Amino acid sequence: MRKFLMALFMVGFLVGLAGTASAAITFSEFPVGTVISNQYAPEVYFLPGTNGNYPIIANDGAMPDSPVLSPNPVYAGDFWMEFPGAPSQVSFDSGYWDTLGSGIINVFSPIGNFIEGLTDTSYGVDHFDISGVGPIGYVYFNSASDPFGADIDNLSVPEPATMLLLGFGLLGLAGFRKKFRG
Ligand SMILES: [Ca+2]
Ligand SMILES: [Ca+2]
């Protein structure tokens, strides 16, 4: 019984951890001008846009939490985000949007199947919360059609390591339960 309670406590602790632990990326982690590829692994990898350039940390005075992650060269262009942990939720701020519907934010599954296409629906800073579409593998961002472009900031991704821990915790609980009952 004591073991079972201990396992229950552990799982509760891990659930609490999973609830709060997500990688909140503000792009203040590296100096302005840093080209970004695998610095935020394992939560997210950034991949080049159509011009072959990886995105870059930049100052954008139009964005409230500058520095931001910008296409490269700044600010108009495209890049990819890859999420190896296949999270069920990804969110970020984006802007500055001067024209509604000019942004292309395409969501793909872990095996590269197109899931949904989003665009900016408000002027200035738009918050994108991608969830309820199954596991997310890739997000493509393109601000080339918006005047003066747009970039992203405050990227939030659940941490794969935490989700794994939660999985082990639940397995452990199942094991203890079996033992206790048997
Ligand atoms: Ca920022
Ligand atoms: Ca713009």
- CA–centroid distance for 182 within its chain: 43
3-state secondary structure 83-146: CCCCCCEEEEEEEEECCCCCCEEEEECCCCCEEEEECCCCCEEEEEEEECCCCCCEEEEECCCC
Calculate helix-pair angle for 2-20, 160-181, nearest 10 degrees. 160
Cα 146 to averaged position of ligand 2 atoms, centre (Å): 5
pTM (global) more than 0.85: no
What are the tens digits of pLDDT across the range 57-73? 999 999 999 999 999 99
- The residues spanned by each domain of the chain are 1-21+160-182, 23-158
Query: Residue 117 — φ and ψ, nearest 5°?
Result: -115, 125
Is 75 or 103 the better-scoring residue by pLDDT? 103
Rounded distance between C-alpha atoms, residue 79 and residue 140, angstroms: 6
pLDDT band at 20 (very low <50, low <70, confident <90, very high): very low
Cα 45 to averaged position of ligand 2 atoms, centre (Å): 24
Cα 148 to averaged position of ligand 2 atoms, centre (Å): 4
Domain 23-158 has CATH 2.60.120: yes
Rounded distance between C-alpha atoms, residue 87 and residue 110, angstroms: 9
Cα 69 to averaged position of ligand 1 atoms, centre (Å): 8
Cα 56 to averaged position of ligand 1 atoms, centre (Å): 12
What are the tens digits of pLDDT across the range 41-55? 999 999 999 999 999
Find the mean pLDDT for residues 14-38: 81
Q: Are strands 104-108 and 114-118 parallel, antiparallel or unpaired?
A: antiparallel
Point out the ligand nearest to the CA of residue 75: 2
What are the tens digits of pLDDT across the range 88-100? 999 999 999 999 9
Cα 163 to averaged position of ligand 1 atoms, centre (Å): 25
Rounded distance between C-alpha atoms, residue 94 and residue 154, angstroms: 9
Angle at 114 between CA 108 and CA 117, to 5 degrees: 85
